[in-house]
Amino acid sequence: MLVMNIQQIMKVLPHRYPFLLVDRLEEVEEGVKVFGYKNVTINEPFFQGHFPDHPIMPGVLIIEAMAQVGGAYASAIDSIGDDRVTYFASIDKARFRKPVLPGDVLRLELELLSKRRGIYQFSGKAYVGETLVAQANLKATFADK
């Protein structure tokens, strides 16, 4: 069972503050399903402008957090070297259902749907508690740095 803390995630993802949007990974079904967690705090830099009097995590950053979970997971399960970087290939069927606020713990659930010719396809869902806040289908690939 794969579990990754922030130091291990930083070994497989090139992202750094303020753009590293996942704190921890836990594989829940080997080679198929992973949960990622993001602790959303008022100190996030995007809250300064989105929106100062009503802070809401931008939906595009929720999708990015999903993508980072998928990229870290694919990199770990397939032992992708640090000479490669994850690229988004597509985002489909993105839906935003509820706002994500400071103090929330975002649980990002990704299921690997397929892996063909170096392209990984995931179904992603984001939850706060038991409430679905966002979902999307994502495709990613790896390229040389």
Helix residue ranges, H only, 13-132: 59-77
> In 18-130, which ranges are E strands?
24-29, 33-39, 84-96, 105-116, 119-128
How many C-alpha atoms does 137 have within 13 Å on its Cβ side?
A: 6
CA distances to 6, 88, 109, 111 from 63, rounded to whole Å, are 19, 11, 11, 14
Active site residues: 50
